């Protein structure tokens, strides 16, 4: 059987994965804090008929070898943690991170999650939680009688509010930011949340705005960093690559047909 059939098939499978990745990026173009994913590819093993440098005569060697590849495979799907654009929402509980870092949340199973989605909500206990009800960590609980319009979060994460009968704001909490040596090694688990893996390394805790941590911006959310135009161009390139691989299979099939007809 001609190896080009399977080689081109591997290319079609790889481009299908590429389209799947691009589609996921485009579907999350309006997801708060979403980070674009890029598909990386690797060539497969090579069949070597002659190694470069093989002696040709007593004084010369062949300058190039003879190799043929067997296609392509998906090497990685890497998440790009570039800054997304910031959107002013006017909501007191919205917080965006400008720079490096994540918020920590407590998951339902008791483990820690990390997110760039700062569209927090204030529950009936006056606690900051995610849209799914997961608590922000360190826990941030507001007084029962706090004046909502007075809620203020500084760029270094200090949270202050006013209460009736007191004109001076009181500090009720201090936000912490967490960053990683290799954020691309985090595992996405959905709900705009990531979990630590051996590849990401342990979380490094810090105060917003210090020691390489990003600043916290109240009344802002971070939009997805997906570029629609870039993804559309990537989709066109992937579609053409898929088409070219299918043409290679058709050509190989035609060549097999010609060989079969030699007997007539």
pLDDT digits (tens, 9 = 90+) for 62-72: 999 999 999 99
For the whole model, what pTM was predicted?
A: 0.90
CB count within 10 Å of CB 77 equals 16
pLDDT digits (tens, 9 = 90+) for 100-152: 999 999 999 999 999 999 999 999 999 999 999 999 999 999 999 899 899 99
Q: Given this model, what pLDDT does residue 192 score? A: 94
Confidence band for 2, pLDDT divided at 50, 70 and 90: confident
Residue 44: pLDDT over 80: yes
Query: Which residue bears the tokens 């690797």?
Result: 42
More confident residue, 188 or 2: 188
pLDDT digits (tens, 9 = 90+) for 29-39: 999 999 999 99
Q: Given this model, what pLDDT does residue 165 score? A: 86
Mean pLDDT of the chain: 94
Q: How far is residue 81's CA from residue 221's CA, in Å, rounded to a whole number?
A: 16
pLDDT digits (tens, 9 = 90+) for 198-219: 999 999 999 999 999 999 999 9
Q: Given this model, what pLDDT does residue 1 score? A: 67
Residue 264: pLDDT over 70: no
Contact predicate 218/156, CB 8 Å: no
Q: Quick one: average pLDDT of 209-230? A: 96
Share of the chain above pLDDT 70, in %: 99
Q: Given this model, what pLDDT does residue 166 score? A: 85
């Amino acid at each position: 059987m001609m190896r080009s059939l399977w080689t081109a098939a591997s290319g079609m499978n790889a481009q299908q994965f590429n389209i799947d990745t691009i589609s996921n990026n485009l579907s999350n173009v309006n997801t708060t804090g979403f980070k674009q994913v890029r598909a990386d590819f690797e060539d497969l093993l090579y069949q070597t008929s002659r190694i470069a440098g093989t002696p040709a005569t007593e004084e010369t060697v062949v300058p190039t070898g003879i190799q043929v590849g067997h296609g392509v495979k998906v090497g990685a799907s890497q998440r790009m943690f570039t800054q997304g654009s910031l959107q002013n929402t006017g909501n007191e509980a919205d917080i965006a991170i400008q720079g490096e870092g994540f918020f920590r949340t407590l998951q339902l199973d008791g483990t820690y999650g990390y997110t760039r989605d700062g569209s927090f909500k204030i529950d009936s206990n006056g606690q900051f939680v995610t849209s799914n009800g997961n608590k922000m960590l360190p826990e941030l609980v507001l007084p029962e009688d706090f004046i909502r319009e007075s809620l203020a979060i500084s760029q270094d994460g200090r949270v202050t509010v006013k209460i009736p009968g007191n004109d001076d704001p009181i500090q009720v909490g201090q936000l912490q930011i967490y960053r990683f040596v290799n954020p691309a090694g985090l595992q996405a688990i959905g709900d705009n949340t990531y979990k630590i893996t051996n590849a990401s390394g342990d979380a490094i805790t810090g105060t917003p705005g210090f020691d390489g941590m990003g600043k916290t911006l109240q009344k802002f959310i971070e939009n997805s960093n997906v570029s629609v135009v870039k993804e559309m161009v990537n989709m066109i390139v992937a579609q053409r690559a898929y088409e070219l691989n299918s043409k290679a299979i058709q050509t190989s099939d035609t060549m097999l047909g010609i060989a079969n007809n030699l007997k007539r």
